Structure 1
Amino acid sequence: MKLLDNPNSVKALNEYCIKSMIENMSILARTESGEIAGVCINTLTCKDDPTDEPITDSVYGKIVNFLAFVSEDSKLFEKFPGVDCFMYMSVMSVDRKFQGHGIAKVLIDKSRQVIS
């Protein structure tokens, strides 16, 4: 999708990730030498959260606005009336040189532990 080719997309992605990371639910995988191998940025959504303004970036905005539509259309809070908040994985990335070693699975497993 060439998301990182557009400086505006990179800025929008950075802002989105920082906003999510402030919630302290994201997971980072590092090698023993401290190199970042992968990241899973998790986002908390609550029933009474105000709706975010749509992202206007031509590339990144399409992705995020589509995912927001899917999230709203799924009506999770209606399907699970006893649930006030849920966590979802908004960004999952593993460095190419570490792919194929189960890092994404570990990030997902650790993310599940955050909410349990």
Structure 2
Amino acid sequence: MALPYPSTFRVQEKFEKLSFQYESQISEDSAISGCSTPSTPTSPIDFDIKIATSADQEDVRQFLQKFFYKDEPLNLFLELITDEHPRCLDLERFTLKDLDSGVNLLAVQNGKLIGVCLNGILERGAADDFECEDEKFSKIVKLLDYVAVESDPFKIYPGVNRGMIVKILSVDGSFRGKGIAKDLMVKTRELARQKGCGFITVDCSSYYTACAARKLGFKPHYTLNYEDYKVDGEVVFRPEAPHKALTVYTQRIV
């Protein structure tokens, strides 16, 4: 999610020059913040992009439940979502808490939600506290807290005081490879400029997410190998290969 992901629940919410050059496309429509598997590009389709409101909350929750929550590598490793426990309320609250902020985007075709891009605004010196009760999810939030401090993008953009973070970019599995993620990112870029943001950043907890970020023209800014992240001397996350690290990618908006 969105990881957005890994250890206190304080996550400093963090894609121009976006070149959008897709070669063999390791899915541009994978979830940025935890995509699942690459897809084969197919013909583009017609769809609309709209700004999310609080009225869309349940539709977005159900979409993420089906296409994102279970497959994100850290959620999967922790077994955050299982048949016995199909929902994590803190996870839902964390991902949906700012849905009506005016910077979250939905891709819709004939009334059906087929993609989401959940974003947030970063302000220099500001932090976002999130109180979490779920023991498993709190491990993810603590990691995100740690990464937010260590990878602070404002350090590499000293003249910038506002940025945009892409928290989750996810597309319906049956619609991947059709340009939906690309168009969502184009609109995200427009919103970032309108909001006076000097850069866009994304935390990639998934190998495939990192591949998608590179295809979108982002540059790696920070890498934390999961085997190197320890609490009380113990490795916290051991997701299955090829997910070996959480990587932060950024891109300057000019």
2:182 paired with 1:105: yes
Aligned twin of 2:169: 92
Task: Give the TM-score normalised by structure 1.
Answer: 0.79
Letter in 1 for 2:151: S
- Please name the residue that 2:104 is paired with: 26
1:60 maps to 2:137: yes
Q: Scaled by the length of structure 2, what TM-score is found?
A: 0.40
Q: Give, in whole Å, the separation in 2 of the partners of 1:104 and 1:3.
A: 26
1:17 matches 2:91: no
One-letter identity of the residue aligned with 2:97: K
Which structure 2 residue ranges, 5 or more long, are not aligned? 1-75, 194-254
Summarize deviations over 1:84-116 as a string: whole Å, max 9, x none.
121111112111221221211211121111111
> Among 118, 138, 158, which residue is 1:41 paired with?
118
Contact 2:94 2:130 in 1 (8 A): no
> Whole-Å Cα distance in 1 between the matches of residues 93 and 130 of structure 2?
13
Distance 1:51 1:34 in 2: 33
SS class of match (1:91): strand
> Alpha-carbon deviation of 1:7?
5.4
1:26 partner letter: N
> RMSD in angstroms over aligned alpha carbons?
2.2
8 Å contact kept, 1:55–1:65: no
**Deviation, structure 1 residue 18:** 2.6
Displacement of 1:51 after TM fit?
Answer: 4.3
- Contact kept? 2:103, 2:191, Cα under 8 Å: yes
The number of residues matched between the two structures is 114
Looking at structure 2, the residues matched to 98 and 52 of structure 1 have their Cα atoms a distance apart, in angstroms, of: 35
- Shift in Å, 1:8: 5.9
- Which shifted more, 48-57 or 98-107? 48-57
Q: How far has the Cα of 1:27 moved from its partner?
A: 0.9
4+ residue segments displaced more than 6 Å = none
Contact 1:42/1:87 (<8 A) preserved: yes
Q: Percent identity?
A: 32
Of the three residues 42, 46, 70, the one matched with 2:147 is 70
Q: Give the whole-Å Cα distance in 1 for the aligned partners of 2:103 and 2:188.
A: 7
- Structure with larger Rg: 2
Match of 1:92, SS state, is strand
Superposed displacement of residue 66, structure 1: 2.0
Task: Kindly state the Cα deviation for residue 60 of structure 1 after the two structures are TM-superposed.
Answer: 3.2
